[in-house]
Structure 1
Amino acid sequence: MIEIKNIKKIFGDRTILDDISAVMEAGKCNLIIGTSGSGKTVLTKCMVGLFRPEEGEIHYDNKDMLQMNNDDRKLLRQQIGMLFQGTALFDSMTVEQNVLFPLDMFTNWSVAEKRKRVNEVLDRVNLKDAHKRYPSEISGGMKKRVGIARAIVLNPKYLFCDEPNSGLDPQTSLVIDKLIKEITVEFNITTIVVTHDMNSVMEIGDHIVYLHQGRKQWEGSNKDIIFSKDELLNKFIFASEFLQDAKEMRMMEMNGLNKKSL
């Protein structure tokens, strides 16, 4: 679990984040959504320690990261997995070498132990035959899966995903969403996903924080969105007339079902 309390971040004379609080639970996909410039990226950078907020607390399982010494903070970072927007794979390394990289950096395991772990995670993301291929030789969806394998190879308690579906077609995006959801539940990971993808919001949004101009505008689940009366959220999620009509039809359908169940 990650709990953020009253986070405030200022750059120059601009307040980027203003009094944001939320609890990100383990075993759930916690999504941070909002328009460009709403503060999503700054918030996540504060959460992983790249930025230090002017005010507030960031608790990892009841321990405030902002009060940790350097050794404790280093240990915490080893428990954090990162899936970057562009995957950030090393082009000169094979798939296997990319996934090995965190193990080489942070463990004293034997070569056999490392290779066994790499095989396990590549098999888990359905890439058991891609070990010797280079990033240039695989598809965008496969690169994302390599990125996920590398992010979980150290058995992290916390997983941060920055726009995991960026550049992917809708069908492949659903595959990546499903994989992130499965891994989150299977290993009881506290997963934080920053996304613009509304399919992701509706598919895996167990817990959603919607930011607007640096403040928390709305919080709830993907099921709550259908019945939300927050005007700013509805304009963001259901931007087109088609989606607005789809929401109204879904509300009517769900209300009808609710009445039948009484």
Structure 2
Amino acid sequence: MIELLNVKKSFGDKPIIKGVDIVMESSKCNLIIGSSGSGKTVLTKCIVGLFTPEEGHIKYDGQDIVSMPLEEKKELRQRIGMLFQGSALFDSMTVEQNVLFPLEMFSGKSYNERKKRADEVLARVNLLEAKNKYPAEISGGMKKRVGIARAIVLNPKYLFCDEPNSGLDPQTSLLIDKLIKEITVEYDMTTVVVTHDMNSVMEIGDHIIYMYQGQKQWEGSNKEIIYSDDKLLNDFIFASDFLQDAKKMRQIEDKRKGLAQ
């Protein structure tokens, strides 16, 4: 679990994060959404310790990263997996070598043990057969899966995904969403996903935080979002006439089935 208490962050005299309280639970996909400039990226960088907030607390299972000594932060970061927006693979390394990299940096295991672990996570993302290929030889969706394998190879407690579906076609995006959801539950991780993809919101949004002008404007699940009357949220999520009609049809269908909240 990651808990944020009254987190505030400014740059100069300009406040960016204006007192945010959030609880992100394990075994759930916690999504941070919002338009450009809403503060979601700065907030995420505060959570992982890249930025230090002026006020507030950010607790990882009770440990406050804000006041934590540097050595303890380094230890904590080894329990954090990162999936970067562009996958951030090393072009000169094979798929397997990319996944091995965190193990070589932070693990004291033997080469055979490291290789076995790397192959285990590659098998989990269905890419074991591609382990000897280079990033230039695989598709965008495969690169994302390699990025996921590398992010979980150290068996982290916390997983951060920055725009995991960026640049992918809708079908591949759904596969990546499903994989993130599955490994979140399997590994009992606290997963935080920063996304603009509304399919991700509706597919894997166990807990959604909508940021607006540096504040938490709304939070809830992907089921609750259908019935939200928050105008700012609805204007962001259901921006087009088509999506507004789809929302109304979903409400009507749920009401017919007796599922309406």
- TM normalised by structure 1 equals 0.98
Q: Structure 1 unaligned runs (5+)?
A: none
Q: Following the alignment from structure 1 to structure 2, what is the Cα–Cα distance between the partners of residues 66 and 242? A: 44
Residue 9 in 1 paired to residue 9 in 2? yes
Quote the RMSD (CA, aligned, Å). Answer: 0.9
The aligned amino acid for 2:57 is E
1:22 corresponds to: 22
Residue 81 in 1 paired to residue 81 in 2? yes
Q: Following the alignment from structure 1 to structure 2, what is the Cα–Cα distance between the partners of residues 145 and 257? A: 37
Q: Offset of 1:108 from its aligned partner?
A: 1.3
Deviations 1:34-53 (A, max 9, x none): 00110111001000000000
Q: Following the alignment from structure 1 to structure 2, what is the Cα–Cα distance between the partners of residues 107 and 254? A: 50
2:185 corresponds to: 185
> Percent identity, aligned pairs only?
72
Q: Offset of 1:105 from its aligned partner?
A: 0.4
Residue 244 in 1 paired to residue 238 in 2? no
Residue 45 in 1 paired to residue 45 in 2? yes
Residue 99 in 1 paired to residue 99 in 2? yes
Deviations 1:112-157 (A, max 9, x none): 0000000100000000101110000000000000000000000000
Q: Structure 2 unaligned runs (5+)?
A: none
Deviations 1:164-209 (A, max 9, x none): 0000000000000000000000111000000000000000000000
Deviations 1:35-72 (A, max 9, x none): 01101110010000000001110000011111211221
The aligned amino acid for 1:101 is F
The aligned amino acid for 1:231 is K
Q: Following the alignment from structure 1 to structure 2, what is the Cα–Cα distance between the partners of residues 13 and 19? A: 15
3-state SS of paired residue (2:149): helix
Q: Following the alignment from structure 2 to structure 1, what is the Cα–Cα distance between the partners of residues 65 and 40? A: 19
Moved over 3 A (4+): none
The aligned amino acid for 1:144 is K
Q: Following the alignment from structure 2 to structure 1, what is the Cα–Cα distance between the partners of residues 112 and 134? A: 22
